[in-house]
Structures are given as C-alpha cells and as structure tokens.
C-alpha cells in the first residue's frame, strides 16, 4: 500500500474495530490502552498492518512514494518512521472512535468514517495512473518501461497484501464480536 494511503486506511480500520468492540468497551473497567479490544486492534496493527506497509516501503519504494521522489534517495530511517506512523493509525483510530462507540453516537462515527473513506477514494482517483503501473522513478518520470501492475511482482504483492489485510481484519472482527456473544 502506498505510504500516503496507509494513514487514512489505518484510521478507518481502527475506527471500525472500535465500533465492533463497543459493547465490551462499555463494560470495561480498565483504561482504554489496557482494554482487551484495544490490545486486539494493536495486535492487528503490529502483526499485519505494519508488515504490509513495510513490504511496499522496502521492496517497491518508488511505487510506495507514488513516484513523487526517488526511493533510493529517501533515508531508510524515514521509511521506518513512515511505517511506524502508519501502523500507529489503527490504535489511534480505535482510540478516537471509542468514545463515540461507547456512547453509540453512530452519526459522529459515520461522519468520521466517511471522511476517512472519502480521502482514500479521492486520493485513489487522483493517483490512479500512478497506482496502476510498476516502474522505477526514472521509468515513470521518463515515460518508458512502466508495466501494468497486474503483470508485475508488485501486482501480486498488492493482491496478496490486501488478502492478508482482509483476513487479519476478519479474524480481528471475529475475535471482537465473539467477546460480545460471550458477555454475561
């Protein structure tokens, strides 16, 4: 996933997880950062989301930066910082949406979710050409050698990463919902 997209996607994932965990959060007597649903969301962030974002930053850097900068000129520490900021978005989104979820304020939750989703969709529309090709920075800027994403290892990586994210999200949602059905 391109690094600029990871921030709103992570926020959206965290917010939806907070909504799924609203019953357990309402019953929780510990601070949010120690509540089981928050730790489950943090686990998704650390074990699934961060490696997915890190994969693209490490192996398809020019694409991850949307061909705006030469990836080989970006310090690796900056790559790491971007990946960590992106990974922090799931727990941040969870924490931001938790008060709305506990209070069952669906209108505020839906508004914030719609904004995050709108940002992702608008950015996707604006950068569709950049997202649809696999190339180096020089190839993309020079207009030569770009390959459609579906015919490249990058395309397989994107497909696999979305499958892994979907499976991780589904498992996390299952864990959070199963706790709701076990309540006394």
Convert the pLDDT of each residue in 54-91 to its tens digit.
Answer: 999 999 999 999 999 999 999 999 999 999 999 999 99
Number of domains in the chain: 1
Q: In the predicted model, what is the mean pLDDT of the chain?
A: 94
- CB distance 97 to 109 below 8 Å: yes
Domain that holds residue 87: 3-181
pLDDT of residue 8: 96
Q: Which residue has the tokens 């997209």?
A: 5
pTM recorded for the entire structure: 0.92
Nearest to 137 by CA among 76, 53, 64, 46: 64
Residue-wise pLDDT for 19-63, tens only, equals 999 999 999 999 999 999 999 999 999 999 999 999 999 999 999
Rounded distance between C-alpha atoms, residue 88 and residue 41, angstroms: 10
DSSP per-residue string spanning 87-121:
HHHHHHHHHHHHHHHHTT-HHHHHHHHHHHHHHHH
| pLDDT over 80 at 14, yes or no | yes
Numbers of helices and strands, H then E, in the chain? 10, 2
Give the DSSP letter of residue 31.
Answer: -
Nearest to 104 by CA among 175, 174, 26, 40: 26
- CB distance 52 to 62 below 8 Å: no
Rounded distance between C-alpha atoms, residue 79 and residue 157, angstroms: 18
Instruction: Tell me whether residue 101 is exposed, middle or buried, using C-beta atoms within 10 angstroms of its C-beta: 0 to 12, 13 to 18, 19 or more.
Output: buried
Rounded to 5°, the CA angle 51-57-62 comes to 155
Residue 148, C-beta contacts closer than 8 angstroms, at least 6 positions apart: 132, 133, 134, 155
């Amino acid at each position: 996933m391109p690094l600029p997209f990871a921030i709103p996607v992570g926020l959206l994932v965290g917010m939806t997880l907070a909504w799924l965990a609203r019953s357990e959060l309402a019953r929780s007597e510990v601070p949010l950062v120690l509540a089981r649903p928050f730790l489950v969301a943090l686990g998704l962030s650390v074990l699934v989301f961060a490696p997915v974002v890190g994969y693209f930053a490490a192996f398809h850097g020019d694409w991850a930066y949307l061909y705006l900068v030469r990836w080989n000129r970006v310090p690796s520490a900056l790559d790491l910082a971007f990946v960590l900021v992106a990974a922090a978005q799931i727990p941040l989104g969870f924490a931001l949406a938790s008060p709305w979820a506990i209070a069952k304020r669906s209108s505020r939750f839906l508004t914030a979710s719609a904004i995050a989703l709108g940002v992702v969709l608008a950015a996707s529309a604006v950068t569709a050409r950049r997202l649809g090709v696999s190339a180096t920075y020089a190839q993309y800027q020079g207009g030569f050698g770009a390959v459609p994403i579906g015919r490249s290892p990058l395309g397989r990586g994107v497909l696999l990463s979305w499958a892994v994210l979907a499976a991780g999200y589904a498992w996390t949602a299952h864990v959070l919902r199963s706790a709701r059905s076990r309540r006394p």
